[in-house]
Amino acid sequence: MARRSVLFSPGDQPELLRKAPETGADTVVFDLEDAVVPARKTEARTAVQSVLADPDFDPDCEVCVRVNPIGAGAGDDVETVLAGENPRLDAVVLPKARSADEVTTLGRLLDERAFDVPVLALVESARGVLHAEEIADAGPTDALVFGAEDLAADLGATRTDDGVEVLHAREQVVLAASAAGVDAIDTVYTDIEDTEGLAEETEFAAQLGFDGKLAIHPGQVAPINDAFTPAEADVEWAERVLDAKQEADEAGHGVYRVDGEMVDAPLVSQAERILERARAAGSGDA
């Protein structure tokens, strides 16, 4: 399953919740946290529950709900959202995750409702970044999500266009996710009009090792998907590398060339990753 684009939709606007899967996003997140003012939390919970329990709601993408933080409404969110019969829910997003205990607490709340879905843990505080490894290793965790805006606020840092103030934390999230074998999802790009800037930042995120990126507007979905979908030329190169490896293995050769380049284990791993991403994105014959 690909999580190239992860699109947030406000939980108190049911018409947008129903339309979100039509944007082409790999994952849609019905947001009960930041997108909903405190006075409308109850209304939003009911709206999300109603959409998820509607038998006619059967989108062809991953559907998540972002609950409120542990100790600040997560329990009420889970209780209400899962109140209907067979809700169409694939995962839960935990905001402001600061420790593995918070992830396991959310997992327990889901278990109590007999609902076994994974957790996408948002790392968006100094404490969360410092504990990213244990958060990624927590049993329910299926992805780490980097939140640069809240992190900068927590640090008292000034956000810049090049993001140098959060680069160390951004890379720390990728390292922790990779070590635990879970997805790494990059932060939002807040300028929804700047498609070129979004594409550049998303390409950089892919270079860092992220598997996907958050989106806050439907117009951001396509550029994000494009950046995380391997180009046809890259897929063809990866196939040549792995075909040549198989031939070399069968011939008992430890060293071989592809396109005039010596191939070693890191290049093989790179080729495997390209084909894995291509398969997940459904591109080509990979």
Structure tokens given for 181 = 């074998």
- pLDDT (average), residues 11-24: 94
- Please give the structure tokens belonging to residue 157: 């840092």
pLDDT interval class at 157 (50, 70, 90): very high
pLDDT at 226: 92
User: 136 with 172: CB under 8 angstroms?
Assistant: no
**pLDDT over threshold 80, residue 194:** yes
142 and 71 in a single domain? The answer is yes
In the chain, the number of structural domains is: 2
| Summary mean pLDDT of the chain | 91
Closest Cα partner for 150 from 212, 227, 97? Answer: 97
218 and 251 fall within a common domain: no
> Could you tell me if 66 and 195 lie in one domain?
yes
Same-domain check for residues 215 and 252: no
Residues 176-190: tens digit of each pLDDT = 999 999 999 999 999
Is there a single domain that holds both residue 160 and residue 189? yes
Q: Between 236 and 40, where is the model more confident? A: 40
Residue 267 pLDDT > 90: no
Structural domain that includes position 277: 232-281
Instruction: Note the pLDDT of residue 222.
Output: 95
Q: Work out the pLDDT band at 286, boundaries 50, 70, 90.
A: very low
The distance of Cα 217 from the centroid of its chain, to the nearest Å, equals: 15
What is the model's pLDDT at position 109? Answer: 94
Split at pLDDT 50, 70, 90, the class of 244 is confident
pTM for this prediction: 0.86
Higher pLDDT, 105 or 71: 105
Whether 102 and 33 share a structural domain: yes
Q: What is the pLDDT of residues 84-102, one digit of tens each?
A: 778 999 999 999 999 999 9
List all residues 6 or more positions away from 48 whose beta carbon is below 8 Å from its beta carbon.
11, 17, 30, 32, 65, 80, 81
Mean pLDDT of 125-133: 97
Given 184, 199, 228, which residue is the final one in a domain?
228
- The tokens describing 10, both together, are 């406000």
Q: Are 104 and 174 part of one and the same domain?
A: yes
Which CATH number do you get for residue 199?
3.20.20.60
Q: Identity (one letter) of the amino acid at 7? A: L
Residue 283, pLDDT score? 46
pLDDT at 156 over 90: yes
Higher pLDDT, 242 or 57: 57
Two tokens at 271?
């080729």
Q: Is the domain of 176 the same as that of 243?
A: no
Q: Is residue 17 predicted with pLDDT exceeding 80? A: yes
Q: Count Cβ atoms below 10 Å from residue 194 Cβ, excluding itself.
A: 13
> Which string of DSSP letters, residue by residue, matches the chain?
---SEEEEEETT-HHHHHHGGGG--SEEEEESSTTS-GGGHHHHHHHHHHHHH-TT---SSEEEEE-PPTTTTHHHHHHHHT-SSS----EEEETT--SHHHHHHHHHHHHHTT----EEEEE-SHHHHHTHHHHHHSTTEEEEEE-HHHHHHHHTPPP-SS-HHHHHHHHHHHHHHHHHT-EEEEPP---TT-HHHHHHHHHHHHHHT-SEEEESSGGGHHHHHHHTS--HHHHHHHHHHHHHHHHHHHHT-S-EEETTEEE-HHHHHHHHHHHHHHHHHT-TT-
Q: Which of 1, 5, 37 is nearest to 215 (CA)?
A: 5
Residue 21 lies in a domain: yes
Percentage of the chain exceeding pLDDT 70: 99
What is the pLDDT, as a whole number, of residue 191?
Answer: 93
CA 47 → CA 14, 42, 50, 54, 67, distances in Å? 6, 9, 5, 11, 14
Same-domain check for residues 217 and 123: yes
Confidence at residue 27, expressed as pLDDT on a 0 to 100 scale: 96
Closest to 32 (Cα-Cα) out of 73, 57, 68? 68
Rounded-to-10 torsion of CA 60, 61, 62, 66: -110
pLDDT band (50, 70, 90) for residue 285: very low
Do 236 and 223 share a structural domain? no
The least confident of 130-139, 183-192, 238-247 is 238-247
Which pLDDT score, from 0 to 100, does residue 230 have? 82
Query: Average pLDDT, stretch 17-43?
Result: 93
Would you say residue 286 lies in a domain? no
